Chains A and B, each alone.
Chain A
Amino acid sequence: MAEIRVNRLQKNFGEFVAVKESSFTVKNGEFFCLLGPSGCGKTTTLRMIAGLELPTSGEIILGDDDVTFKRASERDIAFVFQLFALYPHMNVRANIGFPLKCDGLSRPEIRKRVEETAQILRITDLLDKPVSGLSGGDRQRVALGRAIVRKPMAFLMDEPLGALDSEFRHVMCNELRALHNRLKATTVYVTHDQLEAMSMADTIAVMNQGVIEQLGSPREIYDRPVSMFVADFIGSPSMNFLNLRTGLKAGSTSIFIDQTSVTIPAVREETAEADLVLGVRPENIFFSDSDGLPGDVFGVEYLGTTQIVTVTTGRGTVKARISSDTKAEIGDRVRLKFRPDKLSIFEKSSGRVLKSALHEGVTHG
């Protein structure tokens, strides 16, 4: 197991910049997620770490070894593909043992290691079956087996659950995380699914257009997004954005929206009057009888323990996640209050968050 350090990594495909000067460190034994919409450069980054793609510039250090321009076969890493890439002309046992065969291990040794691996993944009964008859989940397990059998320095996974149906994806999510807890293997995991990333990762890097926008724990990324992109990408329903035009003084702890005072985390930077955006997560919105931002209930989605209430206000549509016990019917006049310590204010032109008490100590990409 080893640490992976990625330093100012860049990849151009002709004119197109797929990955732009990205730097991050995956600590030894960490479950690291590269999260972003398709085409954001996350897979390219992973393929460069694997050695399947050579970077235009920058360096990749695996353990103590600079592997930037080494062949894939010379890096001690394992890769799990989205489409599994199980060799169809071999059975499960041969598939899992294939990397060991290359290392020149003896047959009994290969057999032993394959069987150990199969036990970890609980696929011992599948060992002598052809891979073509396996279900998606079993194929995924075999692909994982092929990765862990070699005890590599790091695991790289490219949307390994993307080809599974949603129900099964959840099961495999738990299994993967349990496996990671057991093996303590450095893992880089690429996904566009925020739920997967949130539920499994120790650290998430949110990528957008080749740039890492934010790097942090799932909680940090959720609660303290550094940009409107991150705020919007993470969370379902996503963060509500309320447009306002005002200036802010350092240290101020409230803003006015339509004559309603809203308490915000203490602002740490001064802004001249500009177009700003107040970001508030649906679950940080409450209904109030007396004061707050007025609005009309436009729609109600009942979800069991909670409900998503869509409210039209003078500042646009707002979605609130409130307890199902609260009565809300379409057409109701309601007043909205926000949880003061979890509000972010963004600069509309750049999408950047304004420094505040909430955002101290957050790592920007």
Chain B
Amino acid sequence: MNARSSTAHSVVEPSLTSRRVASVLVIVYAFVTLIPLFWIFATGFKTPPDSISYPPKVIFEPSLEGYCNLFTTRTRQTSEYIAQLGPPEGICDEVTRRREMVIAGTSNYAPRFINSVIIAFGSTFLSVFLGVMAAYGFSRFKVPLKDDLLFFILSTRMMPPIAVAIPIYLMYRELGLSDTKLGMILLYTAVNVSLAVWLLKGFIDEIPREYEEAAMIDGYTRLQAFRKVVLPQATTGIAATAIFCLIFAWNEYAFAVLLTSGDAQTAPPFIPTIIGEGGMDWPAVGAGTTLFLIPIFIFTILLRKHLLRGITFGAVRK
């Protein structure tokens, strides 16, 4: 029965008016938050002159110049030199020649992007793995000084991580972890693991012990019971935790600037360094940012199903 056909007496169902107001608010809010994203996306398809024109152009002729510039390095040549070259190979060649330049090689964007993927997913995996183990331990076993340990773990979040940037910088230099992927994975894991432990402990506390007990009586060891019974039911929590960890590691800028410059540099510190002819190459920045958003976008959408599904709902009567 929908609201229209039900009587006005329903206490729990919102009235048509309030639902309309809610819809309008949601749409307005979505619009406001999506404007910057839209602007980044649009800038990626503008030509450099369009991207800095004033007043800003909302309607423009799309161009792939931003994407071409993002992945290539170019050198300026005389028009005579360009004219004597053969026909352009591919669209990027054509776009570049129009600016009296030729493609000199590939840019560092692709390797930086891959660094980002390795570091962010690596540290997310490690944080969630350690987090789920620790959370299970804290949730199920008598751990001496449990509360103190949990508080200690939480206390690592009580200051902004960047507050310890200098000691970490010095430490990493000594240990040879500066500008290494392993170093960045460990660093992001260290920051995220406390969040993971606390979040996951909440989720695992919610899973009744009877499930493991039942599995153990059914002949499984504790570890098997953990893997076959607890983990599948903690999926929702693991997914939520993984998203938080990934977003932090993926977007992290300050440590990345400080600790990486070459081999292990991630995309966030790289993107602002894209400079084109006559200042910032905004279309290339827009293109780089758009591509940078895609993995986390996909990851979130994939896990959203898990976030929304109350997987344990109804299996246990409370």
Q: Which of A's residues lie within 8 Å of B, judged by CB? A: 50-52, 71-73, 75, 77-79, 81, 83-89, 98-99, 102-103, 131-133, 136, 146, 150, 163
CB distance from A91 to the nearest CB of B (A): 11
Task: Tell me whether B219 and A52 are in contact (CB under 8 A).
Answer: no
Give residues 276-318 of B contacting A (CB, 8 Å). Answer: 311-318
Task: Tell me whether A132 and B313 are in contact (CB under 8 A).
Answer: yes
Some 14 contacts from A to B, beta carbons below 8 A apart, are A50-B213, A52-B216, A72-B216, A73-B220, A79-B213, A81-B213, A81-B214, A84-B316, A88-B314, A89-B232, A89-B235, A98-B215, A98-B218, A163-B317
CA distance A89 to B234 in the complex (A): 10
Task: Tell me whether A103 and B312 are in contact (CB under 8 A).
Answer: no
Instruction: State whether A72 and B213 are in contact (beta carbons under 8 Å apart), knowing that A102-B219, A102-B220 are contacts in the complex.
Output: yes
CA distance A163 to B214 in the complex (A): 17
* Among A51, A75, A87, A99, residue most surrounded by chain B Cβ atoms (within 10 Å): A87
CA distance A149 to B279 in the complex (A): 74
Task: Tell me whether B210 and A81 are in contact (CB under 8 A).
Answer: yes
Say which residue of A83, A89, A99 sits within 8 Å of B317 (CB atoms): A83
* Among A78, A79, A131, A146, residue most surrounded by chain B Cβ atoms (within 10 Å): A79
CA distance A133 to B220 in the complex (A): 26
Q: Which chain B positions have C-beta within 8 A of A89?
A: 232-233, 235, 311
Q: Which chain B positions have C-beta within 8 A of A133?
A: 314
Instruction: State whether A85 and B213 are in contact (beta carbons under 8 Å apart), knowing that A132-B314, A132-B315, A133-B314 are contacts in the complex.
Output: yes
Q: Which chain A positions have C-beta within 8 A of B30?
A: none
B221 contacts the other chain (Cβ, under 8 Å)? yes
B71 contacts the other chain (Cβ, under 8 Å)? no
CA distance A99 to B214 in the complex (A): 9
Task: Tell me whether A52 and B213 are in contact (CB under 8 A).
Answer: yes
Q: How many A-B residue pairs have CB under 8 A?
A: 82
Binary interface encoding of chain B residues 219-251 relative to chain A, with 1 for a CB under 8 A from any of its CBs, else 0: 111001000010011010000000000000000
Task: Tell me whether A131 and B217 are in contact (CB under 8 A).
Answer: no
B109 contacts the other chain (Cβ, under 8 Å)? no
B208 contacts the other chain (Cβ, under 8 Å)? yes
CA distance A88 to B211 in the complex (A): 9
Task: Tell me whether A50 and B232 are in contact (CB under 8 A).
Answer: no
Q: Which residue of A lies closest to B214 (CB)?
A: A85
Task: Tell me whether A71 and B216 are in contact (CB under 8 A).
Answer: yes
Task: Tell me whether A72 and B217 are in contact (CB under 8 A).
Answer: yes
Q: Which chain B positions have C-beta within 8 A of A50?
A: 213, 217
* Among A72, A79, A99, A133, residue most surrounded by chain B Cβ atoms (within 10 Å): A72
CA distance A88 to B314 in the complex (A): 8
CB distance from B59 to the nearest CB of A (A): 51
Say which residue of B208, B219, B235, B311 sits within 8 Å of A85 (CB atoms): B208
CB distance from A361 to the nearest CB of B (A): 37
Instruction: State whether A150 and B211 are in contact (beta carbons under 8 Å apart), knowing that A84-B316, A88-B315 are contacts in the complex.
Output: no
* Among B217, B312, B316, residue most surrounded by chain A Cβ atoms (within 10 Å): B217
Task: Tell me whether B317 and A136 are in contact (CB under 8 A).
Answer: yes
Beyond contacts A73-B221, A79-B214, A103-B219: 19 other A-B pairs, Cβ-Cβ < 8 A, are: A51-B217, A71-B221, A75-B217, A77-B217, A79-B217, A81-B210, A83-B208, A83-B317, A84-B317, A86-B316, A87-B232, A87-B233, A88-B233, A88-B314, A98-B218, A102-B220, A102-B224, A132-B313, A146-B214
Task: Tell me whether A83 and B316 are in contact (CB under 8 A).
Answer: yes
CA distance A71 to B213 in the complex (A): 11
Task: Tell me whether B218 and A85 are in contact (CB under 8 A).
Answer: no
- The 6 tightest CB contacts between A and B, nearest first, are A88-B315, A99-B218, A85-B210, A102-B219, A132-B314, A89-B232
* Among B210, B220, B233, B311, residue most surrounded by chain A Cβ atoms (within 10 Å): B210
Task: Tell me whether B214 and A150 are in contact (CB under 8 A).
Answer: no
CB distance from A225 to the nearest CB of B (A): 34
Instruction: State whether A99 and B208 are in contact (beta carbons under 8 Å apart), knowing that A79-B214, A83-B317, A88-B312 are contacts in the complex.
Output: no
Task: Tell me whether B311 and A73 are in contact (CB under 8 A).
Answer: no
CB distance from A201 to the nearest CB of B (A): 22
CA distance A84 to B317 in the complex (A): 8
Task: Tell me whether B210 and A146 are in contact (CB under 8 A).
Answer: no
CA distance A146 to B251 in the complex (A): 48
Q: Which residue of A lies closest to B219 (CB)?
A: A102
Give residues 192-223 of B contacting A (CB, 8 Å). Answer: 208, 210-211, 213-221
Q: Which chain B positions have C-beta within 8 A of A75?
A: 217
CA distance A77 to B219 in the complex (A): 9
Q: Which chain B positions have C-beta within 8 A of A163?
A: 317
CA distance A307 to B27 in the complex (A): 68
CA distance A163 to B318 in the complex (A): 9
Q: Which residue of A lies closest to B315 (CB)?
A: A88
CA distance A52 to B216 in the complex (A): 9
CA distance A88 to B224 in the complex (A): 17
Q: Which chain B positions have C-beta within 8 A of A150?
A: 218-219
